[in-house]
Structure formats: structure tokens, C-alpha cells
Amino acid sequence: MTTISASPTAADPSVQTPPAAAPAAAPATGLPAGPAAAKPQSLTFAKALNLAMSDAMEADDAVVVFGEDVGLLGGVFRITDGLTKRFGEERCFDTPLAESGIVGMAVGMAMNKMKPVVEMQFDAFAYPAFEQVVSHVAKMANRTKGKVRLPMVIRIPYAGGIGGVEHHCDSSEAYYVHTPGLTVLAPSTAADAYTMLRDAIACPDPVVFLEPKKLYFAKEEVDVDALRLRYADGTGAEATAVTSIGKAVIVREGSDATLIAYGPSVPTALAAAETAAEEGRSLQVIDVRSLVPFDDETVCAAVRRTGRAVVIAEAPGFASVAAEIVARVQERCFHSLASPVRRVTGFDIPYPAPKLEQQYLPGVDRILDVVDELQWEDK
């Protein structure tokens, strides 16, 4: 039983309501092509992922999609909607219920000239695959001196904010980023969902692709044809040349302090910056996007300009990605800092029940409280 139906609470402005259970009627190629389409159009994060997969499958026969319920149903979040219908059961198929099996089989297929894109149904249900991920996916290239590279993508709907029951809301990124050999991405916009999934599929190395499920049904104005252009030559050369992997982006300019966020926390950080602006404080927001490789250059250059930084993430803070970012910024920007780098994270507890998740999640108020403590009197 998948649990995306519990109604989200309104405290967090970024929470999006998922649509009713029926899959979207639009075919996989749902967007009109041609000059008429060459303007921004409304697109959900979910649809952007779906388009990225269907475009990649269209461009390259080696791309195959599999996992639990990804076939006829289109996945419990409908991310693979229509792929089986369009490309056939050999290109997009359901597997038996076994996550180690899914990832282990993907390893073998990637060894043998395919580019598997597998779906883990939920963050906490990816754990049975952990041994395959850590001992083989991450290490294969190294232990074969680069002879066997695994061009595969493990998609994981992750993090909370949807009122899910237990085991459906884990922020599991630290496990993956701590494993050398994995590339770990966490987009926060529909445009990045498309671009970064295409880049992940084009990447010669294995990618863990974390999809903030509370953003799946967020709508955005996106010029899809402009995004597609980059992959149009079919060779992937251009995509590789300007890949989003390893690149953070500044999503809001500001001069007083820098909020550093990724995945589900980016909209929260933006909302905090908006509120701060009303109160007369100018906050810059960085979307890290690529957890591994980490873009020290963009992040540190930005923090040096403002002199203050707060890192925001949903995962428990102890030994977390947020902790790593704080350490990196502190080590590299010390002389530009006007106050210690702070973090706002989840508590060090198992992800809480829906009724208490808003108390757990980093929200606008908690972020702004910490911003207030950034030793402004020393300015």
C-alpha cells in the first residue's frame, strides 16, 4: 500500500498536493512539438522526469527502465507513466519484488552494454539493495581499473513532507554520499528534474538520483524544447560538455547571508528568503543539486560574498550532508566569515508520524530564527 494520499499540512509553503489516484491521461510524449511549443508551459516535476526518460529511451535503445509497478501502472507516483505502452515491455518492465535483485540485475545489464534506469519504490525500501549499491555499483569501476563502468541510474523517491506513514519519508542521502564511486543528485525544480535525469542517464558512472517526493506535483513554467535542445544531437556529447552534474546554482541573489539547500529544502529556503526580504534582510539561496560531486567553488564563492551561511536539510543533522557542507565552507571561507556557519536540519530521530512532521521539518520560522543568530551586531 503506497501512502501518498494523506493530506499535506499547510505550514510549509512548498508542500504540493498530489493529484487524485488516476494516472494522467497524457501520452508519454504529451508535449506538443514545433514552434508553437517554444515557450514556457506548465510542467510538473513528475512529468519532467517522465519526459526525461521517454526522450532518453527514444534517443538510445540501450536505455531500459525497470522496478516495482513501473510497467502498466506507471509507478506508484506515475513517474514511468506510459513508457511500457510506448516502448514495449522489453524496455520498461515490472520486476519481482526484490530490491537487491533489481539493482543487482541492473549491474549485470550495465556490464553488458545497457543503460538501466531503475526505480526504488520509496527511500526506505531501497535498503535491501544496499549491499549491491555499496559493494558493486560503487566499486566496480575502481576494482576493474576502469574497464567495467556502470552507466546506470537508481531513482529514489525520497524525503518527507507528504504526510506519509513510516518507511515512506526517509532522507537517506548520507548513506549514498558516504560511498565513494557514486554520483548523487537531488534536483529541486521541474526543469532540473528533466535536465539532471538526462545528464544522469548520459553519465558513464552510476548515479543515485534522489527525487523529493513532496515536489512531484509542483507545477512550474518550463520551456521544454529549450531544455531538450541540449540533447538533440543524439550523441550525448553536448549534454556531457555542459552537464549539470557537479554544479550548484544560485537560485536567488542576496547580499546579507547565504542559505544553502538541496532537494526538498530549496523551496523552503526560497520561502524563508522571501519572508526575510519583507523584513528587510537580503538572503541569497543556493541549490546544491549535485551532492556528489560537490561544487565547492560555487558554494564557497557565494558565501565569501555574503560572509554568513546557513545550511538547510531535512535529514537528521548528525554526520549528515548538511554537516559536511558546514565543515567544507568553514574550512575554505574562514577569513570571509562574519559568524559561524549554522545548519537547520531534521532532529536526530526516526522520521516522525504525519501529525508531527511539520515540527520536525526545517521550516521558514526555524530558518529565520537561526539567521537572526548570525551575529549581526558584529557587522
Active site residues: 168
Give the residue from 84, 238, 63 showing the smallest Cα distance to 152. Answer: 63
Q: What are phi and psi of 366, to 5 degrees?
A: -65, -35
Nearest CB to another protein, comparing residues 223 and 324: 324
**Dihedral through CA 186, CA 191, CA 194, CA 199, nearest 10?**
-70
Task: Give the C-alpha separation, 187 to 185, whole Å.
Answer: 6
Least Cβ distance, residue 90 to another protein (angstroms): 6
Q: Of 20-59, which residues contact another protein (CB under 8 A)?
A: none
The interface region with another protein, picked from 37-45, 46-54, 105-113, 333-341 by CB under 8 A, is 105-113
Q: Residue 114 interacts with another protein (CB under 8 A)?
A: yes
Give the residue from 267, 198, 260, 291 showing the smallest Cα distance to 8. Answer: 267
Number of residues that bind another protein (CB under 8 A): 49
Binding mask 227-266 for another protein (x = CB under 8 A): -------------------x--------------------
Binding mask 183-212 for another protein (x = CB under 8 A): x--------------------xx-------
Q: Spell 175-204 as b/e; 16+ CB within 10 A means b.
A: bbbebebbbbbbbbbbbbbbbbbbbbbbbe
Binding mask 119-148 for another protein (x = CB under 8 A): ---------x--xx--xx----xxxxxxxx
Q: Quick one: cell of 329?
A: 565552507
The interface region with another protein, picked from 5-13, 106-114, 252-260, 354-362 by CB under 8 A, is 106-114
Least Cβ distance, residue 188 to another protein (angstroms): 21
Q: Residue 65 interacts with another protein (CB under 8 A)?
A: no
Q: Spell 100-135 as b/e; 16+ CB within 10 A means b.
A: eebbbbbbebbeeebbbbbbbbbbbbbbebbebbbe
Nearest CB to another protein, comparing residues 283 and 288: 288
Task: Give the C-alpha separation, 194 to 155, whole Å.
Answer: 13
Burial grade of 90 (CB within 10 A; 0-12, 13-18, 19 or more): exposed
Nearest CB to another protein, comparing residues 134 and 277: 134
Out of 44, 50, 95, 188, the residue judged to bind another protein by CB under 8 A: 95
The interface region with another protein, picked from 13-21, 102-110, 306-314, 358-366 by CB under 8 A, is 102-110
Nearest CB to another protein, comparing residues 147 and 335: 147
Least Cβ distance, residue 145 to another protein (angstroms): 5
Nearest CB to another protein, comparing residues 95 and 188: 95
Q: Of 310-369, which residues contact another protein (CB under 8 A)?
A: none
| Residue linked to cell 543528485 | 185
Q: Residue 106 interacts with another protein (CB under 8 A)?
A: yes
Least Cβ distance, residue 363 to another protein (angstroms): 31
Q: Residue 179 interacts with another protein (CB under 8 A)?
A: no
Nearest CB to another protein, comparing residues 119 and 220: 119
Q: Residue 287 in contact with residue 266, Cβ under 8 Å?
A: yes
Q: Hey, what amino acid is at 308? A: R
Give the residue from 71, 73, 76, 78 showing the smallest Cα distance to 51. Answer: 78
Nearest CB to another protein, comparing residues 173 and 256: 173
Task: Give the C-alpha separation, 274 to 280, whole Å.
Answer: 10
The interface region with another protein, picked from 36-44, 86-94, 250-258, 342-350 by CB under 8 A, is 86-94
Give the residue from 260, 280, 281 showing the smallest Cα distance to 333. Answer: 260
Q: Residue 161 in contact with residue 217, Cβ under 8 Å?
A: no
Give the residue from 315, 312, 321 showing the smallest Cα distance to 346. Answer: 315
Kindly list the residues in this chain that would bind another protein in the complex (CB under 8 A): 64, 88-90, 93, 95-96, 98, 100-101, 103-114, 116, 128, 131-132, 135-136, 141-149, 180-181, 183, 204-205, 246, 292-297
